[in-house]
């Protein structure tokens, strides 16, 4: 078994490991902040929910969509662009999520939505967004955005429930306790996964209702580990991508996130796809623990976060370093 102690000392310069270990406490605090926050929403019937954010902040919109779309009374639309969709207006509950509060795509859409009189709730730690928005849920400052996922996503879920847009109660109370219990197991699973994926191009598959998990793992592999990967969801990938599998593709390693809430049809799809790729490449199955959709999703996210962290160390990279993103932001600010 790889001894990570020296690698942690050498490469994890901002102590990302401590932030990973405190994720359950972060979720506990995020739920408290979201429940306590004095929301100033006009009493009206919303016709849709709009969620805007980019990168480590934007993933929160996809999480909300995964977890709420089958129990929400109105459609949820996630946006990661400068352009604000035409439907956003007075009957929209609009969320703008930016950890720094200075992300230009998010600020551009925020200004347009405000002009169209949407009901706006922001989640941010600082910056222009926190200054401009009356309804801003403020979260702790000064960390890499992607390590603040509990703060960035849970307040959105709670706010949708508080706006009475859900058909059944949101079951999130047990989430922090569940994550505390599973933390060390998830870290062990993440280390094992890191070993499987080291030196490979990971190809990540999850069911459509766990899309945010596959996307999050892909983005964490890029930002933390400095690795390129590919992700997709079933059933969609069964209608195109499986034809493109090449024989003896040794550089790829497939990861299947599996869950006990899969239907019979989905189980057959996973089994078929796994068999197809296992002839040619390595493949790993990760079974998601948890009683609720939210527990299973965040459990998978924890495993992926730990795997990306340990892969960063194996790749001799500081997991907090995002050189290319910073260089681009600097170029755009000139
Ligand atoms: O992880 C990161 O640092 C990025 O993905 C950022 O989250 C992204 O660039 C958007 O910035 P912010 O989260 O401050 O809106």
Where is the domain boundary, 106, 139, 172? 172
Query: Do the domain assignments include residue 53?
Result: yes
Q: Are 187 and 160 contained in the same domain?
A: no
Tell me which residue has its CA closest to atom 14 in ligand 1: 100
Whether residues 134 and 43 share a domain: the answer is yes
Calculate how far, in angstroms, residue 325's C-alpha sits from the geometric centre of ligand 1: 9
- Per-position b or e across 58-97, b if 16+ CB within 10 A of its CB: bbbbbbbbbbbeeebebebbbbbeeebbeebbeebbbbbb
pLDDT at 42: 76
pLDDT per residue of the chain (334 residues) written in tens, 0 to 9? 678 999 999 999 999 999 999 999 999 999 999 999 998 887 678 999 999 999 999 999 999 999 999 999 999 999 999 999 999 999 999 999 999 999 999 999 999 999 999 999 999 999 999 999 999 999 999 999 999 999 999 999 999 999 999 999 998 999 999 999 999 999 999 999 999 999 999 999 999 999 999 999 999 999 999 999 999 999 999 999 999 987 677 899 999 999 999 999 999 999 999 999 988 799 999 999 999 999 999 999 999 999 999 999 999 999 999 999 999 988 998 8
Query: Which residues lie with the beta carbon below 6 Å from any ligand 1 atom?
Result: 54-57, 98-100, 103, 106, 144-146, 223, 322, 325
CB–CB of 104/110 below 8 Å?
no
Going from the C-alpha of 158 to that of each of 161, 166, 285, the distances in angstroms are: 5, 10, 31
Same domain, 179 and 297: yes
- Do the Cβ atoms of 152 and 145 come closer than 8 Å? yes
Cβ atoms within 10 A of the Cβ of 167, count? 9
Q: Which atom of ligand 1 is nearest to the CA of 55?
A: 5
182/65 same-domain check: no
State whether 281 and 259 are in the same domain. yes
CA of 268 to the centre of ligand 1 (A): 37
CA distance 37 to 309: 32
* CATH number of the domain where residue 89 is located: 3.40.50.10490
CA of 141 relative to ligand 1 center, distance in Å: 13
Asked whether residue 126 is assigned to any structural domain, the reply reads: yes
Q: φ and ψ at 204, to 5 degrees?
A: -105, 130
Evaluate whether residue 217 is within a structural domain: yes
Q: Which ligand 1 atom is nearest residue 106's CA? A: 15
On whether the pTM is more than 0.85, the answer is yes
Asked if residue 93 lies in contact with residue 139, where contact means CB atoms within 8 angstroms, the answer is no
Q: Are residues 263 and 201 in the same domain?
A: yes
What pLDDT is attached to residue 2? 77
Question: How far does the centroid of ligand 1 lie from the alpha carbon of residue 56, in Å?
Answer: 5
156 inside domain: yes
The answer as to whether 332 is a domain residue is no
User: In a mutational test of the pocket of ligand 1, which residue from 14, 99, 219 has the highest number of ligand atoms less than 8 Å from its CB?
Assistant: 99
- Which residue's CA is the closest to the ligand 1 atom numbered 9? 55
Same domain, residue pair 217 and 145 = no
Instruction: Give, using CA atoms, the residue closest to atom 15 of ligand 1.
Output: 98
- Taking CA atoms, 205 is separated from 33, 143, 269, in Å, by 33, 29, 11
Give the per-residue pLDDT at 279: 81
Considering the domain architecture, whether residues 198 and 143 belong to the same structural domain is answered as no
Q: If 0-12 CB within 10 Å is exposed, 13-18 middle and 19+ buried, where does residue 111 land?
A: middle
Residues 237 and 187 in one domain: yes
Give the CB-side neighbour count of residue 248, counting CA atoms within 13 A.
Answer: 0
> In which domain, by residue range, is 257 found?
175-314
Q: Identify whether residues 160 and 71 lie together within a single domain.
A: yes
pLDDT for the residue 247: 65
pLDDT at 116: 98
The answer to whether residues 292 and 187 belong to one domain is yes
Q: Are residues 303 and 194 in the same domain?
A: yes
Q: What was the pLDDT predicted at 280?
A: 79
Q: Where are the beta strands (DSSP E) in the chain?
A: 48-53, 76-79, 92-98, 119-124, 136-138, 201-207, 230-234, 252-258, 282-287
Furthest-apart CA atoms within the chain: distance in Å: 59
Atom of ligand 1 lying closest to residue 97 CA: 15
Report the domain count for the chain: 2
**How far apart are the C-alpha atoms of 245 and 259, rounded to whole Å?**
24
Residue nearest to atom 8 of ligand 1 (CA): 55
How many CB atoms are closer than 10 A to CB 325?
A: 13
For ligand 1, pick from 19, 51, 57, 128 the residue to mutate: most ligand atoms within 8 Å of CB: 57
* Ligand 1 atom with the shortest distance to the CA of 57: 13
Q: Which atom of ligand 1 is nearest to the CA of 329?
A: 9
User: Of 80, 82, 103, 218, which is best to mutate to test ligand 1, by the most ligand atoms within 8 angstroms of its C-beta?
Assistant: 103
For ligand 1, the distance from its centroid to the CA atom of residue 113, given in whole angstroms, is 21
């Amino acid at each position: 078994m790889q001894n990570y102690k020296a690698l942690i000392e050498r490469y994890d310069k901002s102590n990302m490991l401590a932030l990973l270990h405190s994720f359950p406490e972060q979720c506990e605090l995020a739920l408290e902040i979201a429940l306590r926050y004095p929301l100033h929403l006009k009493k009206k019937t919303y016709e849709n929910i709009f969620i805007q954010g980019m990168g480590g902040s934007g993933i929160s919109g996809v999480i909300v969509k995964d977890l709420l779309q089958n129990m929400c009374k109105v459609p949820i639309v996630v946006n990661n662009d400068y352009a604000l969709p035409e439907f956003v207006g007075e009957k929209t509950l609009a969320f703008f999520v930016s950890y720094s509060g200075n992300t230009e795509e998010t600020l551009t859409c925020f200004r347009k939505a405000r002009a169209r009189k949407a009901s706006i709730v922001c989640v941010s730690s600082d910056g222009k967004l926190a200054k401009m928005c009356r309804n801003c849920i403020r979260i702790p400052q000064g960390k890499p955005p992607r390590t603040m996922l509990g703060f960035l996503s849970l307040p959105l879920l709670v706010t949708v429930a508080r706006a009475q847009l859900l058909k059944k109660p949101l079951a999130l109370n047990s989430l922090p306790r569940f994550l505390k219990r599973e933390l060390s197991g998830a870290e062990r699973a993440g280390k094992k996964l890191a070993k499987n994926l080291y030196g490979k191009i990971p190809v990540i598959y999850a069911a459509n209702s766990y899309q945010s998990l596959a996307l999050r793992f892909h983005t964490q592999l890029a930002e933390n580990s400095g690795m390129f990967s590919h992700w997709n969801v079933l059933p969609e990938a069964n209608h195109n991508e499986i034809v493109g599998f090449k024989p003896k593709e040794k550089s790829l390693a497939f990861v299947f996130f599996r869950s006990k809430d899969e239907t019979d049809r989905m189980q057959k799809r996973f089994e078929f796809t796994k068999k197809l790729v296992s002839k040619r490449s390595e493949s790993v199955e990760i079974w998601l623990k948890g009683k609720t959709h939210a527990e299973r999703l965040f459990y998978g996210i924890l495993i992926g976060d730990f795997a990306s962290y340990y892969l960063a160390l194996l790749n001799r990279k500081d997991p907090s370093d995002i050189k290319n993103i910073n260089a681009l932001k600097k170029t755009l600010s000139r």
